Amino acid sequence: MKLSYCADAYRYQRRKTRIVWVGQPARGGVPVGGDHPIVVQSMLTCDTMDTEQCIKDTLDLVKVGCQIVRITAPAPKHAANLKHIVAGLRQRGCLVPIVADIHFKPESAMEAAKWVEKVRVNPGNYADKKKFAVREYTDEQYAAEVERIEEAFKPLVLLCKQLGRAMRIGTNHGSLSDRIMNRYGDTPLGMVESALEFVRICRKHEYHEIILSMKASNPKVMIEAYRLLVARMDALGPDWNYPVHLGVTEAGEGEDGRIKSAIGIGSLLEDGIGDTIRVSLTEDSIHEIPVCQKLVRKFNERPTQSSVLSPQSLAPDTRDPFHYARRVTPEIAVGETKVGGENVVRVIVTRAVWDKVAPKIRPKDDVRPEAIYEEAGVLELDPLAEFPRPPAGKVVAVADGTGLAPIAAHRLLAARLDRLGAKNPILLKDVLTPPATAPDPVDALLHASTTLGSLLADGIGDAILVRGEPGAGASLRLAYNILQAAGCRSFKTDYVACPSCGRTLFNLQTVTARIKTRTAHLKGVKIAIMGCIVNGPGEMADADFGYVGGGPGMINLYVGKNAVKFNIPESEAVDRLVDLIREHGKWVDPEAGESQPQVADARSA
């Protein structure tokens, strides 16, 4: 049976799920799923044992619109203190549901469930282990391991059922267990199977207050995992209609963190997947909520659309939504720039942008326009209309004014070209009607990242054109940052930085800034900055080097997923990280005054 993750690739339809209440309806509970609006949430970064700070930070989050607040409980004493945090909030009239975040310790989950409205467990480390051990499991051995996990997990399931608590079964790409890794590999399939094992245990005991998540720092992996999860659940039957929570882990900070989050979260929301979200930024938690609100606003205001396209006018969707593969095209010359084939995805700009930024580009700048839209000979096509096979040697694009949303329009264009056997490279546009007035800069950034990032993650697109951001320099920088976040180009250092929580063993914002100051000139190097070991070792596998909290004031350094330096005093750790990069031949000295890739000022151009 062919798996399907959405009802219609060309028209928005929100996935139908059951409703899971986080908290009691009469006591400030929040409904997740069904026809209810998409819920936004965040997580505290302070020490869970600091009751008053937790209360204050929670109230601050609620004030800016946070609907669910998560607090880490790494040990039973932290879980026990949730009683006092929740009591203090209720005494102040705050009814926001609280979620306990659990890793490694089932006893913490059992204690936390007494006091909070929801418990989050990670199937990769709840009664399981990750030591990167290589072992072949027979079917009998594997089944025995699942039985062992059920014995450890069953008490929590029964307690949550008894007390009316909700649960999030949250898989993290960076913390898949050795058992899952050895059978399924470091894959979206492994992420899905890890969660479904725990769901089956819940269902065995007739407990259904479940929300699921499939988080990863790589948006492509995250998108594929959520799609596969939804498709697998739909195939299992209509009563597997559990809501899902969306998030990109370790997205980072600033513009980069917002872009990466929009690619992952926004893409799935566009396909109707997602009932609650969190944007994980390496910033104070209150800054996450406005981004969440902007991402969900149009979906909470937009009704489900039935497809208005007749079957005769549609081309079958030719994507494989569960495995990334770039659409095959020939190389075409656009002026002096090669587009398509094995070339990286190119950045094309309008003549107006070119005229403003080109005089400011310096010879060694990596961020530069590569072709002019009006002079590129782009063939504009309306994918809603029949068209003949385009001539070879032409870049094609969706015509402005086409009556579809940009993602659907580009998907349909690619499908129609494939049906005609035409391999023309495609120019992606973030908007099909340039805005008449300047939009909010964050709205423009999130829209472009969602639209272009979604298509790039599907392997569609050989060049991109950003017109929704009116600033010339800002639009050029945004285009390059989207390509970097989508894994299509690498023009600067790539950082994977977790958002901080009560488990964090150092000040993430300060340390991230310190590391960036030393390393931001290292083009093509990926550095992970992790506050603790929960996702650290796993996420190191997707980075060249890792800086991970190993204990209070102590840092462990990684190369890939392997820890190579242990218990380095924090005061020395950045220098030692630089030394490690040197040892592995990835270091170059910055040129005088160089700290990051240069581009014209984002707003002044």
Tokens of 563: 């820890």
Question: In a 3-state reduction of DSSP, which class is residue 357?
Answer: helix
Q: What is the pLDDT of residues 414-425, one digit of tens each?
A: 999 999 999 999
Could you tell me the pLDDT band of residue 7, with boundaries at 50, 70 and 90? confident
pLDDT the model gives residue 403:
87
Amino acid 11: pLDDT = 85
Mean pLDDT of the 477-506 span: 87
pLDDT in tens, 537-549: 655 667 899 999 8
- Count of helix runs (H) and strand runs (E) in the chain: 17, 23
Do 482 and 447 meet the contact criterion of CB atoms below 8 Å apart? no
Q: What is the pTM of this model?
A: 0.91
Q: What is the mean pLDDT of the chain?
A: 91
**CA 248/CA 548 separation, integer angstroms:** 19
d(CA 247, CA 253): 14
Are the CB atoms for 101 and 79 separated by under 8 Å? no
pLDDT over threshold 70, residue 535:
no
DSSP H helices in 125-253: 139-163, 178-184, 188-204, 219-236
Query: SS3 for 327?
Result: coil
**What is d(CA 205, CA 521) in angstroms, rounded to the nearest whole number?**
54
HSE (CB half, 13 Å, CA atoms) of 337? 21
Q: What is the rounded radius of gyration, in angstroms, for the C-alpha atoms of the chain?
A: 24
Can you state the percent helix, strand and coil of the chain, rounding each to 5? Answer: 40, 15, 45
Find where tokens 């839209």 sit: 373
- Write the pLDDT tens digit of every residue in 131-181: 656 678 888 999 999 999 999 999 999 999 999 999 999 999 988 988 899
Asked whether the beta carbons of 325 and 459 are under 8 A apart, the reply is yes
Structure tokens, 412: 């349909």
CA distances from 206 to 44, 71, 145, 151, 243 (A): 32, 27, 22, 16, 17
> Which residue intervals of 526-592 are DSSP H helices?
536-540, 570-583
Q: Residue 289 belongs to what H/E stretch?
A: helix 288-301
By the 8 A CB rule, do 428 and 461 touch?
Answer: yes
For the residues 245-270, what does the mean pLDDT come to? 93
Would you say residue 596 has pLDDT above 80?
A: no
Domains identified in the chain and CATH numbers = 37-249+270-289 (3.20.20.20), 324-485 (no CATH), 494-583 (3.30.413.10)
Residue at 502: amino acid letter? G
Model pLDDT, residue 538? 59
